[in-house]
Structure 1
Amino acid sequence: MDISLGLESCLVIVTGARGQIGQVLVEAFLAAGCDVAALDIKPCSTVQQHDRLHSIEVDTTNQSAVLDAWSEAQRHFDGKVPTVCVCAAGLDLSYIDHHSSAIDMTVEQFRKTIDVNITGTFITAKTWLKWIRDSTHADAQSKSCLRNVSLIVFGSEAGVLGVPGNADYAASKSAIQYGLTMSLAPEAASIFDRARVNAIAPGAVNTPQFRKECQAVPAALWSEAGATVASRKPVEVEHVARTCLMLASDNFSGSITGQVIRVDAGKSGRMYWDQGGRAMW
């Protein structure tokens, strides 16, 4: 039995590559021997330099720009087909305005979150699927050479449990990890029988930003990754990255598609009230 990932030389596109999770995803796929196109709306200056890495500045809500980025990635890597796509782009809950109630949220904020998180993911997924269709229709030899044909979209525990005060974020993640993933999985297989579409839904992740938030509000660690989590700790970024590697690999996930993989350390609920009876949002 071959227990290697078998990802060597695959071309992987990572959107949101400049983010705190995105950077680790890029490093993980490089470590697995992949060529990586790192896409982000801002230059990926924080991502390490590597001869198998190519950074592209792109707004994922702009369809023509995403198509151009895909073409650039393929040209840069000598015509190689980008078979793996990890959609980590989007508005992070840590960086959008929080509210005590949906009553206080502007419609503009809701629309922006929906547009960036859902439309941006849809455009990226659509582009990946188009490239797979065009490549497999080209000739039988190209079709037989494709491996690790996998789309991984980023949902969140928010899409499962909701976020009081941030219905915009929770609604966007629920749409991505359920409606979009479940719709695209059979479509992808109808185009190429080994194409797979899955979502991962991380819980509170131990990023520098999360640690900063917990320093500012110590109760956040208890409520987000203590009282509500079986292991009583946040998820390590590397665990999220390893899950993506697993889902990208035909060797490990060749029969997994249309699934939402929860990487949340056993989170089973959320705290609505603290020990003093105060609202936790």
Structure 2
Amino acid sequence: MDSLSLDLGLTGVSVVVTGGGGLIGRVVVDHFLAAGAKVSSLDIIHPVDGDFQLDAAQSAFISIHCDVSNEDSVRRAFAVATKAYGPVDICIALASLDLSVLEPSPFADASFSQLNRVLNVNVVGTWLTAREWIRGLREAKLEGRTLRHPNLIIIGSESGHFGERLNAEYSLGKSAVQGGLLMSLRAEVPREYAGARVNVVAPGPVQTDRWYEECGRNPDQYYLEAQATTALAEPIPIRAVAMTILSLASHNFSSHVHGQIVNVDGGKQGKVMWTKEEVAQLEQR
């Protein structure tokens, strides 16, 4: 019997994280760096300074300005990442517009411009990211380059399963990438590079500073979102999301998990449809 190893095997592996400068993205980046990977963080919040900014104190990390909704920007960012660390083995498609930056409204009053903005980032941006990663697989294959952990992880959401009242555009975008896009790439990716994988990680309400700010504005949100329909009765630590991504990215741990949605949501069962106060108002009509 071969000796057992619990090593993720990510030392020196080239990883791209879109949205790597965000509240969740920064933690994901830190976890890959801790595992020994070489990480390119692609984010629109990174400054435009030439092609990239190299962290002199940490040669395993670069930050690259990238607008994932722009085809040329995505192409340039991947080219920089590839030049710095070689073919991109692992791609984490995390960049998206989340609920905190959206204006909630009843569907009849929904903003068409907001719909376009959300879909351009959450759907088009994920599509462009996935395509550029796959093109890198094709190029690596043609050059005879060996990739140890070729896989794409798309970040979905509980909203892609359960919908999002007053923000249908967000759930629409997440359903698209964790539904039709995932199923399409599941069939196609291994044809481009043997053993290449694609999966989705779909978190529930994540314990970011922004989420706690939202709970401060709406005291009922903590209970309604993280307890009322959640078996573990608590929001999701960012570390739990990052560790799931890390283990799923490693072929040593998850070599045959492919085309799956991994829910990191504490056992979420759905959304609360009506609060007691709302039901009381209905009964008074």
For Structure 1 versus Structure 2, the TM-score category normalised by the shorter chain is: over 0.9
Calculate the TM-score normalised by the size of structure 2. Answer: 0.92
The structure number with the bigger radius of gyration is: 2
Instruction: Provide the residue aligned with 1:159 in structure 2.
Output: 160
The reply on whether 1:51 has 2:59 as its aligned counterpart is: yes
CA contact (8 A) 1:17 1:44 kept: no
The reply on whether 1:121 has 2:122 as its aligned counterpart is: no
Report the CA distance between 1:44 and its aligned residue.
6.8
Instruction: Provide the residue aligned with 2:139 in structure 1.
Output: 134
What does the per-residue CA deviation read over 1:60-104, in whole Å, with 9 as the maximum and x for residues that have no partner?
111122111111112222xx11110001101011111111x1111
RMSD: 1.7
Quote the Cα distance in structure 1 between the aligned partners of 2:269 and 2:194: 35
Unaligned stretches of 5+ in structure 1? none
Quote the Cα distance in structure 1 between the aligned partners of 2:192 and 2:198: 12
Instruction: Provide the residue aligned with 1:31 in structure 2.
Output: 34
Report the CA distance between 1:278 and its aligned residue.
6.0
Cα pair distance change 1:61/1:277, threshold 3 Å = same
Report the CA distance between 1:137 and its aligned residue.
1.7
Instruction: Among all aligned residue pairs of Structure 1 and Structure 2, give the percentage whose two residues are the same amino acid.
Output: 38
Report the CA distance between 1:50 and its aligned residue.
2.6
Partner-residue secondary structure (3-state), 2:234: coil
After the TM superposition, list the runs of 4 or more consecutive aligned residues in structure 1 that deviate by more than 4 angstroms: none
CA contact (8 A) 1:38 1:44 kept: no
Moved more, 270-279 or 240-249: 270-279
The reply on whether 1:173 has 2:174 as its aligned counterpart is: yes
CA contact (8 A) 1:125 1:151 kept: yes
Partner-residue secondary structure (3-state), 1:255: coil
What does the per-residue CA deviation read over 1:216-255, in whole Å, with 9 as the maximum and x for residues that have no partner?
2110000000111101100000000001101110011100
Instruction: Provide the residue aligned with 2:22 in structure 1.
Output: 19
Partner-residue secondary structure (3-state), 1:229: coil
Instruction: Provide the residue aligned with 1:259 in structure 2.
Output: 260
CA contact (8 A) 1:94 1:209 kept: yes
CA contact (8 A) 1:13 1:84 kept: yes
CA contact (8 A) 1:18 1:44 kept: no
Unaligned stretches of 5+ in structure 2? 49-54, 281-285
Quote the Cα distance in structure 1 between the aligned partners of 2:82 and 2:8: 22
Q: Which amino acid aligns with 1:108?
A: S
Q: Which amino acid aligns with 1:103?
A: A
Instruction: Provide the residue aligned with 2:87 in structure 1.
Output: 81
Quote the Cα distance in structure 1 between the aligned partners of 2:99 and 2:141: 37
Calculate the TM-score normalised by the size of structure 1. Answer: 0.93
Instruction: Provide the residue aligned with 1:68 in structure 2.
Output: 76
Report the CA distance between 1:277 and its aligned residue.
2.2
Partner-residue secondary structure (3-state), 2:121: helix
Matched ranges for 1:196-235 at <5 A:
196-235=197-236
Cα pair distance change 1:75/1:54, threshold 3 Å = same
Report the CA distance between 1:51 and its aligned residue.
2.3
CA contact (8 A) 1:84 1:248 kept: yes
